[in-house]
Homo-oligomer: A and B are copies of this chain.
């Protein structure tokens, strides 16, 4: 019996040690995941998808999900990943976009604005007035928009989330580009790259200050 008791104790001890080890590894992995900067590449075209669930969750975190009646799948696509990254904004969203006509992305931006995120948007003067442009809608919602006054294009297509995460690539924010074109978007959480783009954004934001507009 002494020997059996010893064996049982040893087994219990080994099980406890194993459980502790598993917990330690799990905690380390979780910490590493949290600390690891985001590095992602999204390629388009994206399969069309429904982002209602993403928007609803961002508008009212934890609210019971209401299924969307639309026929689109709500799976994991390049578009849904892009929307997720944008909706992660808590303090600021700086947008520098040549053309912006995708209603789904406009709804995500509007939602962030309503949630109190400071949204600033720079765009191209020649493209902001085109059919389908979402710029007017965003302005009416109270979002600050500035545009160039040049003959050259304001051709950037980047977003900076919370001055921390850079989202940049070839993709204009149009449904045509998202669903039909070969496009790329990099998601980069790297202080050096983010700083370069944040500085460019601030330069453009000041240069396009309406106080400097000239009326020909």
**Is the pair B182, A152 in contact by a Cβ cutoff of 8 Å?**
yes
How far does the Cβ of A110 sit from chain B's closest Cβ, in whole Å?
24
Chain B residues in 8 Å Cβ range of A184: 156, 158, 168, 197, 200
Q: Do A154 and B168 contact each other (CB < 8 Å), given the known contacts A39-B193, A41-B197, A193-B39? A: no
Q: Do A43 and B200 contact each other (CB < 8 Å), given the known contacts A98-B170, A150-B180, A170-B98? A: yes
Chain B residues in 8 Å Cβ range of A4: none
A196 at the interface (CB under 8 A from B): yes
- Copies of this chain in the oligomer: 2
Residue from the list B150, B176, B186 in contact with A193, Cβ < 8 A: B186
A148 at the interface (CB under 8 A from B): yes
Taking CB atoms and an 8 Å cut-off, the chain A residues in 166-214 that contact chain B are 168-171, 176-177, 179-184, 186, 192-193, 196-197, 200, 204
**Is the pair B182, A156 in contact by a Cβ cutoff of 8 Å?**
yes
**Is the pair B177, A155 in contact by a Cβ cutoff of 8 Å?**
yes
**Is the pair B168, A155 in contact by a Cβ cutoff of 8 Å?**
no
Residue from the list B151, B168, B170 in contact with A156, Cβ < 8 A: B170
In the complex, the 4 A-B pairs of residues with the closest C-beta atoms, listed nearest first? A152-B180, A41-B196, A155-B181, A153-B181
Apart from the given pairs A151-B180, A154-B181, A155-B170, 6 other A-B contacts in the complex at a CB distance below 8 Å: A148-B182, A152-B179, A152-B180, A156-B184, A157-B170, A168-B184
